[in-house]
């Protein structure tokens, strides 16, 4: 989901000696591996950073009777309300939706969702089944999210990012037949190791390594690539132990094991399936990744339970005014636009409304802040959750959790990470796409979207059409309360507007993933909220001194 949003290879873009600009490189990473890999690339290039969480904010000495208005009950708003209330502030939260969590949203059976344009979907998932149309995983180094899960007793379970038994697929490679991740990985490593071993033996590395280093290199290449005694990657025991067998070893009088045949190097390179192999090496995915048991919204709902008396739902903010004495927010009942107009007053305000919506609100603020709000567009993304009658990916294909990747527009299929080997229906994430593909799918009628997602997924799993039961889809640019999935900063807009966006404006401060360097992740929202209220608390105390 993480995209720079700038013209690819535009004049002035920093580039390496090959002429590949950083923006172009990031776009390619994002297209191939998705937002998480792009975030890692951005981290490496200084565009983003790992979570610097150091523990809950310390807000000692809150002046008694001070009221803070929090706009939005997504993760940033809930964190702000929870910590401010704990510190002794009088807190009121206004939320557009009839639920808490914002993009930390889980759709379950019985839920109803109406998008822009009026199309309404009613989820018919079986009890206990769900899909997360927004965030769906928590990396190990997102310490803020993990801290709230621990403090609020929200149980976590593993999220399987990489499953070597899942599929890699391209309609233009191998006759459109999906390949096992492990086979592509083993063959790619094996062919690369063989080529490098040949280069070393033919003197291609002379002058770069010593004779002793060469011997050690050849030994390591044999181990790394599964090469035989002649330093060739060939059909045999070693390669089959990496890529799998045509007939696996059995017992008793079962058929004897049969080795599998590696794919020819030229065919593998042309297939471009190797593009997805780097996923397992990304910073975020090298170790444990988590999900809350029962749905990603569990952490947000646990926060909501702590501040429930202070939250008002269906409150659509239409204007924010402030002066030297306080803040006045005008809002209406989101269920009855133009009716039930009311006002809320407070001494201070923390606004977590997405910039895509805040830009439509009558806001009284300095020009620099208004310009920053207008400068940041939001990306398009699309997800579809599909319920199938049985877990055929486990029963027929031996895939327990993880993600299969395809060059088709649906981009990937993510299998459930819990309930393994269970009977009955289960839900997979059947599509997760960005940009033009997201716009194209969201333009369809919801039923047509699902038909196309099922059709494309059927190219990887022939069981799709036969086993499909029902599904739901969310195109984030058609979600009324955000009109996009995440803020898409560029290095240029960050240089010009980021500090202005985050600075306290009289009695107002903004927070959310858009006000962070970890955009598109809940961790960015959490850290942004904690930073914003810490600075606001210091200003409030100074004003009272």
Residue 91 contacts residue 84 (beta carbons within 8 Å) = yes
- What angle, 0 to 180 degrees and rounded to 10, lies between the N-to-C axes of helices 522-544 and 143-151? 80
What is the pLDDT at residue 285? Answer: 81
Which CA distances in Å does 376 have to 38, 288, 515, 521? 18, 33, 11, 17
What is the per-residue pLDDT for 283?
78
Between CA 13 and CA 2 the distance in angstroms is 18
Confirm whether pTM is higher than 0.85: yes
Sign of CA dihedral 225, 228, 230, 235: negative
What structural domains and CATH numbers belong to the chain?
67-97+299-376+489-544 (3.50.50.60), 107-165+287-295+379-478 (3.90.660.10), 179-271 (1.20.1440.240)
Q: Which residue has the higher pLDDT, 268 or 15?
A: 268
pLDDT, one tens digit per residue, over 381-395 is 999 999 999 999 999
CA-angle at 4, arms to 2 and 7, nearest 5°: 145
pLDDT the model gives residue 50: 58
| CA-based nearest residue to 484, from 362, 354, 360 | 354
Task: Compute the mean pLDDT over every residue in the chain, rounded to the nearest whole number.
Answer: 90
Convert the pLDDT of each residue in 384-436 to its tens digit: 999 999 999 999 999 999 999 999 999 999 999 999 999 999 999 999 999 99
With a pLDDT cut of 90, the percent of the chain lying above it is 84
d(CA 63, CA 346): 14
Average pLDDT for 316-323: 98
Quick one: average pLDDT of 440-453?
97
Give the pLDDT of residue 56.
85
Written as six digits, the tokens of 334 are 């989101």
pLDDT for the residue numbered 55: 79
Whether the Cβ atoms of residue 438 and residue 476 lie closer than 8 Å to each other: yes
**How many residues comprise the chain?**
545
- pLDDT of residue 21 exceeding 90: no
The 10s digit of each residue's pLDDT in 254-305 is 888 899 999 999 999 999 999 999 888 887 788 889 999 999 999 999 999 9
> Cα angle vertex 157, ends 151, 163, to 5°?
145
């Amino acid at each position: 989901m993480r995209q720079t949003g700038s013209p690819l290879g535009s004049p002035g873009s920093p580039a390496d000696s090959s002429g590949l600009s950083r923006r172009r490189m990031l776009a390619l990473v994002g297209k191939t591996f998705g937002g998480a890999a792009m975030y890692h690339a951005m981290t490496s290039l200084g565009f983003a950073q790992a979570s610097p969480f150091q523990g809950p904010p310390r807000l000692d000495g809150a002046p008694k009777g001070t009221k803070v208005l929090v706009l939005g009950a997504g993760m940033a708003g809930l964190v702000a309300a929870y910590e401010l209330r704990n510190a002794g502030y009088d807190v009121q939260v206004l939320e557009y939706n009839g639920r808490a969590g914002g993009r930390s949203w889980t759709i379950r059976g019985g839920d109803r969702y109406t998008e822009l344009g009026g199309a309404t979907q009613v989820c018919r998932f079986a009890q206990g089944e769900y899909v997360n149309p927004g965030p769906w995983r928590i990396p190990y180094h997102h310490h803020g999210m993990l801290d709230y899960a621990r403090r609020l007793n929200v149980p976590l379970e593993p999220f399987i990012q990489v499953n070597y038994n899942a599929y890699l697929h391209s309609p233009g490679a191998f006759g459109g037949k999906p390949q096992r991740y492990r086979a592509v990985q083993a063959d790619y490593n094996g062919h690369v190791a063989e080529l490098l071993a040949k280069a070393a033996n033919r003197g291609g590395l002379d002058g770069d390594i010593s004779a002793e280093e060469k011997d050690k290199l050849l030994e390591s290449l044999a181990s790394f690539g599964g090469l035989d005694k002649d330093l060739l990657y060939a059909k045999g025991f070693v390669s089959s132990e990496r890529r799998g067998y045509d007939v696996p070893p059995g017992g008793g009088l079962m058929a004897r094991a049969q080795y599998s045949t590696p794919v020819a190097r030229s065919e593998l390179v042309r297939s471009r399936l190797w593009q997805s192999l780097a996923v397992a090496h990304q910073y975020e995915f090298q170790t444990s990744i988590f999900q809350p048991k029962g749905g990603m919204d569990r952490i947000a709902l646990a926060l909501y339970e702590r501040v429930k008396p202070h939250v008002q739902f269906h409150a659509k903010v239409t204007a924010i005014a402030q002066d030297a004495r306080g803040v006045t927010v005008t809002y209406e009942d989101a269920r009855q636009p133009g009716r039930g107009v009311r006002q809320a007053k407070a001494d201070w305000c923390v606004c977590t409304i997405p910039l895509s919506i805040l830009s439509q609100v009558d806001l009284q603020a300095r020009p620099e802040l208004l310009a920053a709000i207008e400068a940041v567009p939001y990306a398009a993304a699309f997800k579809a959750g599909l319920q199938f009658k049985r877990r055929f990916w486990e029963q027929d294909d031996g895939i327990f959790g993880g993600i299969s990747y395809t060059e088709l527009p649906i981009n990937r299929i993510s299998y459930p990470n819990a309930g393994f080997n269970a009977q009955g229906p289960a839900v997979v994430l059947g599509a997760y796409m960005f940009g033009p593909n997201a716009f194209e799918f969201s333009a369809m009628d919801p039923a047509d979207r699902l038909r196309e997602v099922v059709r494309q997924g059927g190219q990887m799993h022939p069981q799709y059409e036969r086993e499909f039961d029902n599904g739901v889809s969310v195109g984030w640019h058609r979600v009324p309360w955000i009109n996009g999935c995440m803020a898409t900063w560029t290095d240029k807009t960050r240089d010009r507007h980021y500090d202005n966006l985050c600075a306290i404006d009289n009695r107002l401060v903004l927070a959310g993933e858009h006000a962070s360097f970890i955009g598109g992740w809940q961790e960015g929202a959490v850290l942004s909220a904690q930073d914003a209220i810490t600075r606001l608390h210091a200003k409030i105390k100074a004003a009272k001194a």
